Each structure stands twice: as C-alpha cells, then as structure tokens.
Amino acid sequence: MDAQLTALGLDEAFRFACGPEVACFNDCCRDLNQALTPYDVLRLKRGLGVPSGRFLAEFTRRHTGPGSGLPVVTLAPSDPETLVCPFVSAAGCRVYPDRPASCRTYPLVRSVRRYRETGAAVASYFILTEPHCRGFGGNRTQSARQWTADQGIGDYNTENDRMMEVISLKNGLRRGPLSPSSAEGVYTALYDLDAFRRRLFDDGVAAESGVGEDLLEAARHDELALLRAGLEWVKQLLERTFARWTVALCRCRIRDTG
C-alpha cells in the first residue's frame, strides 16, 4: 500500500499513538529528507545552546527551493546510507522539546490557503497513512485540534505561516532563484540569526532595513522578534529587488522597440 492522504476535519477524531512500545518506533527518523523552517532552526539551536552559524554548519545542508527559488535548509543525516536523523537515539528524539514542526504534526498534514481578496488564511488538515507506521493501531483517539494543542504545534504554525507569506510574495513577484548576493542575505536573515543580529546592529543596516522601530528594538534582545524582523527585512529586499528588475526589463523593452 502506498502512502495515502485523507481529509480530516479540525474536530474529527482519528486514532494514533507513538512511543517505544510501537514496533516501528524511530523508523520515521530514517530515510530522511527533512526541511527545516526558520522557526525550526531557531528552536533547535536555542535548545541545543549553540550559535546559529554552528548549528547550520554541523546539522544542516543548504539548498535552493525548486518552487520558490529561496534558500532552504534540510537536516543533514548522520549516516549517508540510512539517512538517519542526527538527533535520534535508541530511546527516541534527543531534541524532543524543540523537534521540528513536521515531526510534531505527523501523522497530520496541515495545508494553508490564503485568500488574496481578504488576506485571511484558512488551514485544512489531512491524515497521512504510511505503510510502515503502526501508530494507527494504538488506543489513543483525538481530533486535529487536540493533537495541535497536545503536541505544542500552535506557535510553530503561527511563525511558519509568516514564512509562507514570504514565499507567496516571492512567487507573486517572480519565479526562479535569487541572485547570489540576495540569496546570501535571505539565508542569513531567515536562518543565521546571530549573524543577522550583527549585521543589523553592528554593521549599521538597521536604519535602512525597512523594519519598524518597535520590532527592531525588541530584536536586540529577543530571538523571536529578531526572526520576525528578518522576515520583514526579506520582504523589503524582495520588493526592492524585483522593482529594480522590472525597471531594468522595461528599459530593455524600450530600447528594443526604439
């Protein structure tokens, strides 16, 4: 049987439980292709007590998103053959309190649709049934709403939806990868928060960042505010970049027609 997605209402019950007593415990932590959101990286590096640059260098790989063209990071497996998560052990997840959103949400899949006319975001839920998973044979029954609360997913959803706004903006402006310099700036602002703080406040970028003063002030001492400042900075960068690109394209067309 292949993996199946089945729509699930927010208050519709489903049966699932996972733990050491389940035969497939830890199997989902192998054969890994685990993308991390900026908030995932913030939580993991903070939980491990390491600088963002060190976390990224030791535990992640950098890619370009095939759809968005934005920088993306994935967990680097600790074994190149089994592709096992670097944080899994025989006893379970070593970073469980700060595990990524996709780990928390499983076996649910959350999809968000944002209405262009109103800007309102509406979430839909699906249950992912995979052949290897034995968690569906457990006795625990809950709804998607209860699962979200029990697994501490709410904060992740809030911050990850902010990232979805950035992706939507990028896709609406122009498809394809960024220039190397823009890609480096976006990567730093979204993932390497310690470096981004230095860039903002030590290198004097804050004054021309386009980020509100209140948010900038909070970002000096609060990492979540710093991430939100990074997201706003990226939006400003994308809009400036593609405004310049549009002007350049118009000039080329004028020359061609002239």
Tens digit of each residue's pLDDT (9 = 90 or more) over 207-256 = 888 899 999 999 999 999 999 999 999 999 999 888 765 544 444 544 55
pTM above 0.85, yes or no: yes
77, 84 contact by CB (below 8 A): yes
Question: What's the rounded Cα separation, in Å, for the pair 258 and 243?
Answer: 22
Is the per-residue pLDDT at 157 higher than 60?
A: yes
What is the model's pLDDT at position 247? 45
**Torsion angles phi and psi, residue 207, rounded to 5:** -65, -30
- 193-198 average pLDDT score: 96
93-139 pLDDT, tens digit per residue, is 999 999 999 999 999 999 998 777 776 778 999 999 998 899 998 78
| Rounded distance between C-alpha atoms, residue 217 and residue 161, angstroms | 23
Average pLDDT over residues 172-186: 92
Please state, in angstroms and rounded to a whole number, the distance separating the CA atoms of residues 160 and 123: 12
For residue 105, the tally of other CB atoms under 10 A from its CB is 19
Separation CA 146–CA 15 (nearest Å): 12
What's the pLDDT tens digit per position in 3-18? 899 999 999 999 999 9
